[in-house]
Chain A
């Protein structure tokens, strides 16, 4: 177990190295500096700015200095917001992004698992068809199209909830972003749960439980669901990682002030410092959450041995 953990964590190093090299290389392959869009400044000022952002160093030295800062917890400067660093952006935006991601995660689990269970218990009858239809639509609808549908229905037609650009001011502004973000994952979890439930229905221990006279409810809750959820847990890690890091489209669409929106705005403004730091941060979060879930998996299911 410990060896496994060490190997998994060690594997993060080459991954992050390659991700950071690709990111860094690409950002520096860009023709023209980050200042090309600015009004003309004198050569001296230009030089000073380049010095400040270390753009005067050879590229490998720039990379080493950047990684050194990163290891000290300094994500570097943003090129467009003069008055703040990427750290400031993360400090301001991350709590919002985390809150959005976690709420979407809770909604996805709370709706997806029951949907999958209902589909499996009504296998090949209408509850199954209904749940399957819902999850197919969920899988095939991108988050920003789902966001549009939600806004058109609940904000424009029914006028129940605020629409886009209302920010993150309270529960009624949370509902639509959370739903739009979790839609795909509700469908994904429902599909996995359904397949897993159908698998355990055929198991001997379920037949044993039924033949010893246990009520249907107890069989489902105590024997089927508990076992069926084990494989579902494996996809929860990538899902959580996706919800926390993949919300930038939704943040941008609804004007939620999380780090994702800064990222998108950074793309528009060619803020290479911000883009670079965010990409590495996101890659790290995804890789890290996957390790955490794989380890947690061993506690939930003691049958799993890591070699």
Chain B
């Protein structure tokens, strides 16, 4: 009998030490698409951080000698020395521009999502915690924001503020963060509220209250941690949308301003040379597509890993 209890105890301990996050990570690693997506995401983050060190040229530095040798025309990948991916129509190094574009996309990916969390979590938490009238008003507001077409609001914000100091900060990048964050928090707010509404009535919350735990501590220690899983998934899946919005804004000419080399801007300029120099558009296009696909794979994988019940349902 003693041995049975011992085995049981050891099994339980082993089980406990693994924890839900480690379990989820294990499941994530078994998902081939998520691993491929994750590796590409890490690669993009690394080139975004170390881009300025790797880049053979500055993204705004014209190579007059090579540009003259190319007769003032764009040059394709592997056609001229010193410029691995060629020169664009201004005589700038395409490889270095793509690296700067990675920095823009990755900073939008993470900073815009941080803004989303800063707005979405408090609104969702307030609505879910207080319920009643506070909940009604906040959720009505959320519903109205939900009905506002995202991209239109982002464009409006970008157009309205682009000539202010705030709009010009970081070459317009700062405004892009804020505009995307202000329009994309709704999903997170709804998730947090839903989690809180269902958890609020649970026995462990009642127990915590009964032993005199303060409301704030119940919120931060017992309620919000339970929402981390779904919020992580929502944020990861929101990243491709944010990257796409940034590229679209730059493409339309209202996002990040030159000389910064957003992929969207490179495409907008490259379209004019689509017959003579298609690589000016398809190279940044491939970068955008690969970033979107890899974050989508990673987000889908995270969702399946954190909530195996949902697997394949959505």
Please list the residues of chain A having a beta carbon within 8 angstroms of any beta carbon in chain B: 14-15, 18-19, 22-23, 26-27, 29-32, 136-137, 139-142, 144-145, 148-149, 151-152, 155-156, 163-164, 195, 198, 245-246, 249, 252-253, 264, 267-268, 270, 275, 279, 282-283, 286-287
A245 to B149, CA, bound (A): 9
Are A287 and B296 in contact, CB atoms less than 8 angstroms apart?
Answer: no
B72 to chain A, nearest CB (A): 22
Partner of A136, one of B144, B248, B278, B296: B296
> For the side of the interface on B, what is the size category?
35 or more
- Which B-chain residue is minimally distant from A198 (CB atoms)? B312
- Which A-chain residue is minimally distant from B293 (CB atoms)? A140
- Which A-chain residue is minimally distant from B140 (CB atoms)? A14
- Which A-chain residue is minimally distant from B253 (CB atoms)? A268
Q: Which residues from chain B contact A27 at a C-beta distance below 8 Å?
A: 156, 160
Are A282 and B152 in contact, CB atoms less than 8 angstroms apart?
Answer: yes
A152 to B277, CA, bound (A): 10
With an 8 A cutoff between CB atoms, is B110 at the interface? Answer: no
Give me the 10 closest cross-chain CB pairs, A-B, nearest first: A140-B293, A26-B160, A140-B292, A145-B285, A15-B147, A18-B144, A148-B285, A148-B281, A140-B296, A152-B278
Q: Which residues from chain A contact B271 at a C-beta distance below 8 Å?
A: 148, 164, 253
Are B147 and A19 in contact, CB atoms less than 8 angstroms apart?
Answer: yes
Are A195 and B314 in contact, CB atoms less than 8 angstroms apart?
Answer: yes
**Residues of A contacting B: mostly:** helix
Are A136 and B293 in contact, CB atoms less than 8 angstroms apart?
Answer: yes
Q: Which residues from chain B contact A164 at a C-beta distance below 8 Å?
A: 271, 274
With an 8 A cutoff between CB atoms, is B240 at the interface? Answer: yes
With an 8 A cutoff between CB atoms, is B125 at the interface? Answer: no
Q: Which residues from chain B contact A15 at a C-beta distance below 8 Å?
A: 143-144, 147-148
Q: 17 pairs across A/B with beta carbons < 8 Å?
A: A15-B143, A18-B144, A29-B160, A30-B160, A136-B293, A142-B244, A148-B281, A149-B282, A149-B285, A163-B274, A195-B314, A198-B312, A268-B253, A275-B156, A275-B159, A279-B152, A282-B152
B residues 243-261 touching A (CB-CB < 8 Å): 244, 247-248, 251-254
A275 to B161, CA, bound (A): 14
A145 to B248, CA, bound (A): 10
Q: Which residues from chain A contact B143 at a C-beta distance below 8 Å?
A: 15
With an 8 A cutoff between CB atoms, is B22 at the interface? Answer: no
Are B144 and A163 in contact, CB atoms less than 8 angstroms apart?
Answer: no
A146 to B314, CA, bound (A): 24
A142 to B253, CA, bound (A): 17
Q: A14-B144, A283-B148 are in contact. Are A270 and B159 (CB under 8 A)?
A: yes
Partner of B252, one of A18, A264, A279: A264
- Which A-chain residue is minimally distant from B245 (CB atoms)? A142
Are A137 and B293 in contact, CB atoms less than 8 angstroms apart?
Answer: yes
With an 8 A cutoff between CB atoms, is B133 at the interface? Answer: no
B residues 125-166 touching A (CB-CB < 8 Å): 140, 143-144, 147-149, 151-153, 155-157, 159-161, 163-164
With an 8 A cutoff between CB atoms, is B309 at the interface? Answer: no
B295 to chain A, nearest CB (A): 8
**Seed contacts A163-B275, A164-B271; 4 additional CB < 8 Å A-B pairs:** A144-B248, A148-B285, A152-B278, A275-B155
Partner of A140, one of B157, B240, B267: B240
Partner of B267, one of A23, A148, A287: A148
Q: Which residues from chain B contact A18 at a C-beta distance below 8 Å?
A: 144, 148
A23 to B153, CA, bound (A): 8
Q: Which residues from chain B contact A136 at a C-beta distance below 8 Å?
A: 293, 296-297
With an 8 A cutoff between CB atoms, is B288 at the interface? Answer: yes
Q: A195-B314, A249-B251 are in contact. Are A140 and B289 (CB under 8 A)?
A: yes
- Which B-chain residue is minimally distant from A132 (CB atoms)? B33
With an 8 A cutoff between CB atoms, is B16 at the interface? Answer: no
With an 8 A cutoff between CB atoms, is B216 at the interface? Answer: no
Q: Which residues from chain A contact B282 at a C-beta distance below 8 Å?
A: 148-149, 152
